[in-house]
Structures are given as C-alpha cells and as structure tokens.
Amino acid sequence: MVDVTTVPSEEQNMSMLDKLKGLLKGHEDQARQGVEKAGDAFDRKTGDKYKDQVDMAQKKIEEQLGAEPPKDDRPPHG
C-alpha cells in the first residue's frame, strides 16, 4: 500500500517543474549539454542496455526545456 501523504500531488509536481524551468531560464543550452552528457555517461556505464529509455528521457527533457537548440545556418568559411 502506498502512503499517499508522501506521494507528491499533480499540483506539487507542476510547481516543482515550474520552479525548475524558472531556474533553467536563459541556460537552456547548458541544460541540454548536461542532459546529453549524463545520458551518454549512463549509456557507457550500462553498455547501452537502456539506450532506448535514456534517449526517450533525453527527448522528453529537451521538450520540457522548450526552444530547440540553435541551428548553425551560417555559410561555411571559405
């Protein structure tokens, strides 16, 4: 049986997510890099055993961060 007093409510989860988003505001690129590095490290440690799940988690986190990473649309230097 689950003690419902220790399980965060949906409202508490949303407020924690809002707080996290507020902390990351303006630092989305660094957060993306950290998520990517952490996922890669986890994959190495587990021998890619959970690669699909890690990739899915990384994608969901990036979706929550909002804006896509900047694309390099500059022409190559010649």
**The two structure tokens encoding residue 73:** 């649309």
Q: Whole domain around residue 30: which residue ranges? A: 10-65
The answer to whether residue 1 is domain-embedded is: no
Percent pLDDT > 90 in the chain is 35
The answer to whether residue 55 is domain-embedded is: yes
For residue 54, the model assigns a pLDDT of 95
Vertex 30, ends 26 and 47: CA angle to 5°? 150
Provide the terminal-to-terminal Cα distance of the chain, rounded to the nearest Å. Answer: 67
Q: Taking residues 4-16, what's their average pLDDT?
A: 68
**The two structure tokens encoding residue 62:** 């990036």
- What is the value of pTM for the model shown? 0.58
Domain total in the chain: 1
